[in-house]
Amino acid sequence: MNKTARSPKPAPKQTFEGVHPSLATTQDDWLASQKIRLLMSLRKAGVTDTRVLGAMENVPREQFVEEAFRDRAYDDNALPIACHQTISMPSVVAMMTQMLDVKPTQCVLEIGTGSGYQAAVLAKLARRVHTIERHAPLAEIARERFTAMKLRNIDSHIGDGSKGWPHAAPYERIIVTAAAPEIPQTLLAQLSIGGKMIIPVGLHVADQFLLRLTRVAEDEVRKEVLSPVRFVPLVAG
């Protein structure tokens, strides 16, 4: 007589190191728990603007990193992307965005699209975002991400970021995500009166500082030195 075959036992659900099985049983659960942890650490680090925190919460960073690094999307680390570039640390994105002080009616210019993550965060805060990237493959991938996320207030351009995007100038806010050797006068010329620019400046990595420039009059700019930083260089061409 044949014995009744037993049904195979279901495979155990995958869990992730550092999280109790009852709290994280899938990668999505893991990422959600890591995002909460990151948001708490941002608050402790001084990111208190609720609009910025809301934007950081609503933009899925895992959609902007390489698949191999997806499980590290909410680590507070820079991660490699295509064209030998990086996606910035979430804490740097949050602090720079808070320092930029974007209002809902404003138009923002971003120099250095990269993965598109910073532009996506800005799109949650501004009326319109113009972002420019010199590496065509990065710009194309970022555009696909913006379309998939239905971020219709981002205009993505391919070109020399050091020249800005004069076609839509002036801008109330400008953010530069690569380090310039000195303050670019071409970008300052595209900043409106009362506008603010956040930019890392320094010829060498060890000498880079984050600056906030406020154009208080046609021929007057107020400069604030905010903190030491490390960014890839802003390359012309």
Cβ 230 vs Cβ 134: under 8 Å: no
**DSSP string over 116-155:** SHHHHHHHTTSSEEEEEES-HHHHHHHHHHHHHTT-TTEE
CATH number at residue 195: 3.40.50.150
What are the pLDDT tens digits along the chain (237 aa)?
A: 444 444 444 444 444 444 444 444 577 888 899 999 999 999 999 999 999 999 999 999 999 999 999 999 999 999 999 999 999 999 999 999 999 999 999 999 999 999 999 999 999 999 999 999 999 999 999 999 999 999 999 999 999 999 999 999 999 999 999 999 999 999 999 999 999 999 999 988 888 999 999 999 999 999 999 999 988 889 887
Vertex 132: Cα angle to 196 and 166 (nearest 5) = 65
Q: Is residue 32 part of a domain?
A: no
For residue 103 the two structure tokens come to 């209002």
Q: Is residue 236 part of a domain?
A: no
Vertex 142: Cα angle to 209 and 101 (nearest 5) = 45
For residue 52 the two structure tokens come to 């910025």
Cβ 117 vs Cβ 97: under 8 Å: no
For residue 143 the two structure tokens come to 């555009």
Cβ 210 vs Cβ 175: under 8 Å: no
Q: Is residue 165 part of a domain?
A: yes
Q: Is residue 30 part of a domain?
A: no
**3-class secondary-structure state, position 168:** helix
pTM (2 d.p.): 0.87
The pLDDT score that the predictor gives to residue 28 is 81
| C-alpha dihedral, 34 to 35 to 37 to 41, nearest 10° | 140
Q: Is residue 197 part of a domain?
A: yes
Q: How far apart are the C-alpha atoms of 166 and 1, rounded to whole Å? A: 85
Q: Is residue 10 part of a domain?
A: no
Distance of CA 190 to the CA centre of its chain: 22
Q: Is residue 31 part of a domain?
A: no
Q: Is residue 26 part of a domain?
A: no
**3-class secondary-structure state, position 211:** strand
Active-site residue numbers? Answer: 88
- What domain count does the chain have? 1
* CA distances from residue 214 to 89, 132, 156, 220, 225 in whole angstroms, order as listed: 25, 21, 25, 9, 12
β-sheet bridge partners, residue 176? 111
- Domain with 98, as residue range(s), is 78-228
